[in-house]
């Protein structure tokens, strides 16, 4: 558990290969977005969204379903182009050098990207190897797995994993190679209490070493240096009314309890 | 470069463990070709006349079978998001996928085709040329097919659409593949046909990679 967390442990052997930066000493805005606009399928999700992150910061994305948390994370990852606005790293536009931006981040989305015919450790070492351009050592794979209590399942096919264990495997991928920026889309879904604690510890360790994390979550997660970002503030007025109306209809239809769950993958 | 081999390795190992797509394409190939002598009758003259065409058409269709899932599964389970943000260029990813696909279907086709051709009374001169033509033609089929597979990713009933998109594009490979064997059997030089097949391979390689990559980027948005 102690020596599994990047970027401290593996940065020596692999940091050079992917151009990952050493922990930042100088304080200043490192990753920022300016005037981001997201349009999905003709619907304007948010407009004029700004954010700024310094090394060690955590950005917590909050807002109702459909307010664009996942879309913002995909924009930050470079998987989705914003309709307007810029993403900046050290003040330079990210899209000018997308490949370096990919190399300094980890993205954990709703889907796990796991192949059920492969074993747990094969899945992990494939993704780590693809990202690093070199097959990871067996010990680094083991360490990342044990951080989320998956080491006993290492040689079993991913088919037998439960939803929570699959999620833990996705999170173990984040620990298996260093990155400055973690983009986590509802990482606590399906996780048990111990795993949430392990995740919190991993994030804290990441932040202490100058890493940044952007996390979309509905559950309360007490993080250090957390900056909340309420996405519903950036929803255009017309769309907001619609969102609230939708929520109200769901509440009315299903009684009080079902309203909270909403749509979730 | 490691990433490239990791993808090839992963696809081959997965197919091997699941025993699905690759094996299915080969079984389809064997059964389709075997149906012809049963349908046409055992007369060796007729079989020798149509043999090359029958095996080639069956090979085209068998290749099609494996294409649908080429990118589809990666899109469904979220793998493609991670592949897209990996340092490996998407063109190299597509090339790796094509290579894995060829190893799983093209190579077994190449190994079984001569046996089937013999069964259809193809003579010895024709057989050697036939194998060379298959070796040059099957990779082209994969590169052309990759375009269709990338375009139909995420489409409902993508398999049918894929067939309609890709089969017309297979016509040149079919014509020159059969032409090479016909030329050899009738005592002419098969070289022009084989050169055209080689040219098609050199053309479809960059075109297939470029077009598939563009289509996949569209699908990611």
Domain count, chain A: 1
What backbone torsions phi and psi does residue B62 show, to the nearest 5 degrees?
Answer: -65, -40
Cβ-count burial of B46 within 10 angstroms (0-12 exposed, 13-18 middle, 19+ buried)?
A: middle
The domain segmentation of chain B, as residue ranges, is 2-220
Specify if A264 maps to a domain: no
Averaged over A114-122, what is the pLDDT? 91
Q: Does A77 contact B17 at a Cβ distance shorter than 8 Å? A: no
Q: Which pLDDT belongs to residue A11?
A: 40
CA distance B82 to A176: 15
Residue A221 domain-assigned? yes
Vertex A85, ends A84 and A90: CA angle to 5°? 155
Confidence of residue A243 (pLDDT cuts 50, 70, 90): low
Gap from B20 CA to chain A (nearest CA, Å): 12
Nearest CB neighbour to A113, from listed B17, B78, B221: B78
ipTM above 0.95, yes or no: no
Q: From chain A, which residues contact B within 8 Å (Cβ)?
A: 18, 77-81, 99, 102-103, 105, 107, 109-115, 117-118, 122, 126-127, 129-131, 133-135
The two three-digit tokens of residue B194, written as one number: 């084989």
Contact assignment for B77 to A109 by CB distance below 8 Å: no
Does residue A148 form part of some domain? yes
Do β-strands A58-62 and A212-216 pair in parallel, antiparallel, or remain unpaired? parallel
CATH code, A116 = 3.40.50.300
Burial of A115 (0-12, 13-18, 19+ CB in 10 A): buried
For B:83-142, CB contacts with A below 8 A are 83-88
**Among residues of chain A, what percentage have pLDDT more than 90?**
42
Kindly identify which residue of chain B lies nearest to residue A102, measuring between CA atoms. B85
Confidence category of residue A15, pLDDT binned at 50, 70, 90: very low
Instruction: Identify the residue with better confidence: A2 or B63.
Output: B63
Q: List pLDDT tens digits, range B36-71.
A: 999 988 888 888 888 899 999 999 999 998 888 889
Q: Is the pLDDT of residue B24 over 60?
A: yes
Whether residues B85 and A102 touch (CB distance < 8 A) is answered with: yes
pLDDT score recorded for residue B49 = 86
In the predicted model, is pLDDT for residue A9 greater than 90? no
pLDDT band at B132 (very low <50, low <70, confident <90, very high): very high
Looking at per-residue pLDDT, the higher value among A7 and A134 belongs to A134
Which positions ≥6 away from A104 have C-beta within 8 Å?
Answer: A18, A19, A20, A21, A89, A179, A180, A181
pLDDT in tens, A204-222: 999 999 999 999 988 777 7
Return the minimum-mean-pLDDT range out of B89-98, B118-127, B171-180: B118-127
Which residue of chain B is at minimal alpha-carbon distance from A110?
A: B78
Mean of pLDDT values over B124-152: 93
Q: What is the mean pLDDT of chain B?
A: 91
| Longest CA–CA separation in chain A, Å | 57
| Secondary structure string (H, E, C) spanning A169-205 | HHHHHHHHCCCCEEEEECCCCCCCHHHHHHHHHHHHH
Give domain status of residue A255, yes or no: no
Is B156 or B211 the better-scoring residue by pLDDT?
Answer: B211
SS (HEC) of B116-171: HHHHCCCCHHHHHHHHHHHHHHHHHHHHHHHHHHHHCCCCCCHHHHHHHHHHHHHH
Domain that holds residue A42: 11-21+28-234
- Facing residue for A133 by CB, picked from B3, B7, B13: B3
Q: What would the 3-class secondary structure string for chain B be?
A: CHHHHHHHHHHHHHHHHHCCHHHHHHHHHHHHHHHHHHHHCCCHHHHHHHHHHHHHHHHHHHHHHHHCHHHHHHHHCCHHHHHHCCCCCHHHHHHHHHHHHHHHHHHHHHHHHHHHHHHCCCCHHHHHHHHHHHHHHHHHHHHHHHHHHHHCCCCCCHHHHHHHHHHHHHHHHHHHHHHHHHHHHCCCCCHHHHHHHHHHHHHHHHHHHHHHHHHHHHHHC
Tokens of A89: 């790293």
Q: How far is A252 from chain B (nearest CA, A)?
A: 34
Distance of residue B76 Cα from the nearest chain A Cα, in angstroms: 8
User: What whole-number percentage of chain B has pLDDT above 90?
Assistant: 64
**Percent of all residues in chain A with a pLDDT value above 70, rounded to a whole number:** 82
Given this model, what pLDDT does residue A217 score? 85
Is A226 within the bounds of a domain?
yes
Whether B23 shows a pLDDT value over 50: the answer reads yes
- Most A CBs within 10 A among B87, B90, B219, hence the mutation to make, goes to B87
> Which of A80-84, A108-112, B154-158, B211-215: highest mean pLDDT?
B211-215
Average pLDDT over residues B1-10: 89
| pLDDT the model gives residue A25 | 47
* C-alpha distance from A105 to closest chain B C-alpha (Å): 9
Question: Could you read off the pLDDT of A21-71 as tens digits, one per residue?
Answer: 444 445 578 899 999 999 888 888 888 899 999 999 999 998 888 888 999
């Amino acid at each position: 558990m102690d020596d599994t967390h990047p970027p401290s442990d593996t940065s020596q052997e692999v940091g050079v290969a992917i151009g990952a930066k050493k922990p930042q000493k100088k304080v200043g805005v490192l990753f920022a977005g300016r005037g981001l606009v997201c349009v999905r399928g003709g619907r304007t999700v948010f407009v004029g969204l700004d954010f700024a992150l310094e090394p060690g910061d955590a950005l917590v994305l909050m807002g109702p379903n459909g307010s664009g948390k996942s879309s913002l994370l995909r924009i930050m990852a470079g998987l989705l182009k914003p309709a307007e606005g810029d993403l900046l790293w050290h003040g330079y536009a990210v899209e000018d050098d997308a490949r370096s931006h990919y190399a300094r981040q980890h993205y954990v989305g709703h889907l796990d990207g796991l192949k059920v015919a492969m074993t747990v450790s094969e899945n992990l070492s494939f993704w780590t190897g693809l990202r690093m351009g070199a097959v990871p050592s067996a010990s680094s794979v083991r360490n990342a797995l044990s951080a989320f209590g998956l080491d006993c399942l290492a040689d079993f096919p991913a088919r037998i994993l439960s939803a929570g264990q699959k999620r833990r495997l996705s999170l173990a991928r984040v620990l298996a190679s260093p990155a400055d920026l973690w983009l986590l889309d509802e990482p606590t879904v399906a996780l048990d209490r111990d795993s949430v604690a392990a995740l919190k510890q991993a994030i804290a360790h990441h932040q202490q070493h100058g890493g940044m994390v952007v996390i979309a979550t509905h559950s309360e997660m007490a993080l250090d240096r957390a900056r909340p970002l309420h996405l519903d503030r950036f929803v255009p007025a017309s769309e907001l009314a619609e969102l609230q109306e939708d929520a109200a209809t769901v509440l009315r239809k299903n009684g009080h309890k079902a309203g909270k769950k909403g749509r979730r993958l | 470069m490691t990433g490239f081999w990791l993808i090839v390795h992963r696809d081959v190992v997965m197919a091997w463990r699941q025993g699905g797509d690759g094996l299915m394409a080969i079984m389809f190939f064997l059964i389709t070709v075997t149906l012809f002598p049963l349908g046409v009758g055992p007369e060796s003259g007729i079989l020798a006349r149509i043999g090359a065409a029958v095996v080639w058409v069956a090979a085209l269709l068998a290749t099609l079978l494996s294409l649908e899932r080429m990118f589809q599964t990666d899109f469904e389970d979220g793998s493609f998001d991670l592949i897209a943000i990996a340092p490996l260029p998407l063109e190299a990813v597509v090339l790796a996928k094509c290579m894995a696909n060829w190893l799983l279907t093209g190579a077994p086709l190449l190994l079984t085709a001569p046996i089937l051709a013999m069964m259809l009374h193809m003579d010895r001169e024709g057989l050697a040329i036939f194998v060379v033509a298959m070796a040059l033609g099957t990779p082209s089929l994969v590169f052309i097919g990759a375009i269709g597979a990338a375009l139909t990713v995420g489409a409902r009933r993508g398999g049918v659409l894929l067939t309609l998109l890709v089969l017309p594009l297979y016509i040149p490979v079919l014509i020159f593949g059969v032409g090479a064997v016909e030329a050899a059997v009738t005592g002419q030089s098969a070289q022009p046909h084989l050169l055209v097949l080689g040219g098609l391979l050199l053309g479809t390689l960059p075109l297939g990679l470029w077009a598939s990559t563009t289509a996949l980027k569209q699908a990611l948005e």
